[in-house]
Amino acid sequence: MMQAVTLTLSDEIFAIPTRILHEILEPVPVTRVPRAGSFATGLINVRGTVVPLTDLRVAFGMTSRPPDEHTRMLVLDVPVAGAETTVAVIADRVLDVTELDDAAVGEIPEVGMRWPPEFLSGIARTDQGFVIVPDLARIYAAALSEDSADFSLEKDPSSCV
């Protein structure tokens, strides 16, 4: 069983393991980073620590939306360049904490996927429908690689939190 926090990004439900979750924040001020790509556009202050703010919607080719009263920032420890690194991700809404049975997390279908399969650990079937389990290590590795053109394309920076 994997305990996970579920959240929405562009009306899709994602699950992030609670073992990497530090905390969930209401939106805090973001310091923009000049010439940063659309994936990691700024920095936030989390209890005196500077933390990069990232937008998983960019990795999944989803449309960003302006923040509202449901927007949250999840502070996570993810493997980045071989080391555990604290980052924050934007969520349109945090739903709840749930347990996903490892047997319910299925393989990624080769046909009919609208998300980049290389960024998925699996897709879980729940009573509420399908839940996407992202492969955060691969997403951050791609964002740091020289082949990360999709991550560095400038989109509307005002669409982030």
CA–CA distances in Å: residue 65 to residues 1, 23, 58, 91, 92: 33, 22, 11, 10, 8
What's the pLDDT at 28? 96
Determine whether 57 is exposed, middle or buried from the number of CB atoms within 10 Å of its CB (0-12, 13-18, 19+).
buried
Distance separating the N- and C-terminal Cα atoms of the chain: 33
Integer angstrom CA distances of residue 120 from 14, 32, 58, 124, 132: 10, 28, 14, 11, 7
Residue 159 domain-assigned (yes or no) = no
Q: Which domain holds residue 101?
A: 2-148
Work out the pLDDT band at 120, boundaries 50, 70, 90: confident
Residue 149 pLDDT class (50, 70, 90 cuts) = very low
Query: What pLDDT is attached to residue 97?
Result: 93
In a domain, 155, yes or no: no
Q: Between residues 152 and 102, which one has the greater pLDDT? A: 102
pLDDT digits (tens, 9 = 90+) for 6-35: 999 998 999 999 999 999 999 999 999 988
Considering the domain boundaries, does residue 158 fall inside one?
no
Cα 8 from chain centroid?
10
Phi-psi region of 139 (alpha: psi -120 to 50; beta: other; left: phi over 0): alpha
- Total number of domains in the chain: 1
The predicted structure's pLDDT at residue 122: 82
Q: What is the pLDDT of residues 44-91, one digit of tens each?
A: 999 999 999 999 999 998 988 899 999 999 999 998 878 899 999 999
Under a CB-based contact definition with an 8 Å cutoff, are residues 86 and 63 in contact?
no
CA distance 15 to 123: 9
Q: What is the pLDDT of residue 14?
A: 94
Q: In the prediction, which pLDDT does 104 show? A: 57
Is residue 103, in this structure, part of any structural domain at all?
yes
- Residue range 112-141: average pLDDT? 81
Mean pLDDT of the chain: 83
Helix/strand/coil for 121: strand
pLDDT (0 to 100) of residue 11? 87
Looking at residue 19, what is its pLDDT?
95
Picking from 160, 136, 145, 150, the residue whose alpha carbon sits closest to that of residue 21 is 136
139 φ, ψ (degrees, to nearest 5): -60, -50
The per-residue pLDDT for 147 is 45
CATH (domain of 45): 2.40.50.180
Q: How many residues does the structure list for the chain? A: 161
pLDDT above 90: residue 117:
no
